Amino acid sequence: MDTLRQADVAPQKLFLEGSWQEGTGTPLEATSPIDGTVLTTLSGASAADVDRAVASARQAFDDGRWSRLAPAARKKVLHKIADRIEAEALKLAVLGVRDNGTELNMALKAEPGSAAGTFRYYAEALDKVAGEVAPTPPDILGLVHRAPVGVVAAIVPWNFPLMIGAWKLAPALAMGNSVVLKPAETASLSLLRLAEICAECGLPDGVLNVVTGSGAETGSALSMHMDVDVLTFTGSGATGRRLLEASARSNLKRCYLELGGKSPNIVFADTPDLAHAAKVSAMGIFRNSGQVCVAGSRLLVEASVHDAFVDLLQSEAEALRVGDPLNLSTQIGAVNSEAQLSRNLSFMETAREEGGVVLTGGKRILHETGGSYMAPTIVTDVAREATLFQQEVFGPVLSVTSFESEQEAVSLANATDYGLAAGVWTSNLSRAHRMIAAIRAGVVHVNTYGGPDNTVPLGGVGQSGNGHDKSLHALDKYVDLKTAWIQL
């Protein structure tokens, strides 16, 4: 562990056409949120570099080196990638933790563990997806083919780069597409290593290209590119809007956007075990310093158990060990960057001004480390019109609001522009089903929070975006339907 913690990270280049190449754009520094030190530098991809990456992907797609490979051959390569990720799990996890600050125990499972499982899932799925024979008149043969779309651009966030990168890469590759991947500025290292692993495992040159750099330079060039067929993105709503605008101003490429949420976690008085619900709910917002798209960041508690439940939750929050994410006893790691930490803290000022009560946390901690750390934070008395109720913090900050009835709980749950996830705690099965039906969200957890695997889709409604990652439904983003109408 100490060897991996202290290992030098060489200056990083772009991965184009199966080799490392210098970018001609603005380079970036990779700064560790653990202690504020600079890990390495990232090559910046200019518009010209993005052109090279897309041209490489297009050539690889058009000549069929991957797109026309037999499904069994593609499956073999994806399984090899999964095997290699598993073999390098600790190395990949530590590299990612040094880059983005996620606590190691969680990173091992959520990053290489999840990524390997995702590649394996789509390796097994790719030859199970077939076309259709339409119910046509006897003298007509109607066929529906599923064809790969071509060149996919994938823009990945910094909170779980390897996991979310795999959610996009694996199904796109499984369907025979070529991919240009852009990692986040503050979490690129594990995805650059993944590109190398893919090449070592037999993915043909040019099928996967990785361009690092800023959103303004590299991301903009990729989103405006006239030869990208599909763009898939996970990140902020503001960036998602810019990507849609870029699509409209370029070639009308399809855009699939997962834009985060302000997910309600609803606790009814008949919750079977309040102490257990408090423990799970605490991790549902505070793990990875709250930097989780589906985090249960709005706690809605039935008034009759409000005080008791909040007391339990406060005890859980204050008992969490925040610190060096490479220490195995740490439960909550670092905030990804100084900029994100400053943004988190600005919400505290606004919350107080709008009548919220900071029950615990609300401040920066562990200044002496040089890193970016924030105490798990609970803010009570948050009104539905408050900023903290309406806007995503993407930090370890929980707002608490009480309700009197099931109808009010539904109203509060649906009172934001988002619709990614939700949680419901109750012992009433009928109520659970009513809440699942009434809450506008892509995922509704009942008597748990977090944990859905690759067998089910992840996607949102409203301003949480469109399209789905995970499950067989994710494959729909990366295929075109082509009809053959044949006169017999």
Supply the residues annotated as catalytic: 258
Which of 392, 319, 390 has its CA nearest to residue 361?
Answer: 319
Please, which residues have CB within 8 angstroms of residue 63's CB and are 6 or more apart in sequence? Answer: none
CA distances from 262 to 96, 178, 412, 482 (A): 26, 33, 11, 38
Give the Cβ contact number of residue 342 at 10 Å.
12
DSSP state of 320: S
Cβ atoms 50, 200 nearer than 8 A: no
What span, in angstroms and rounded, lies between the C-alpha atoms of 106 and 229?
34
Sign of CA dihedral 392, 394, 399, 405: positive
Q: Which residues of 292-331 are buried (b: 16+ CB within 10 A; e: fewer)?
A: bbbbbbbbbbbeebbeebbebbbebbeebebbbbbbeebb
In the block, which residue shows the tokens 């988190």?
344
Q: Which residues pair with 443 in a beta bridge?
A: 421
Secondary structure letter of residue 45 according to DSSP: P
Question: What single string gives the DSSP state of each residue in 336-401?
Answer: S-HHHHHHHHHHHHHHHHTT-EEEE--SEE-GGGSS-EE--EEEES--TTSHHHHS---SSEEEEE
Helix (H, G, I), strand (E, B) or coil at 421: strand
CA 198, CA 187: separation in Å to the nearest integer? 19
Widest CA span of the chain, in angstroms? 79
Rounded to whole angstroms, how far apart are CA atoms 447 and 427? Answer: 8
Q: Do residues 152 and 177 touch, judged by C-beta distance below 8 A?
A: yes
The answer to whether the beta carbons of residues 281 and 265 sit under 8 Å apart is yes
Amino acid at 268: F
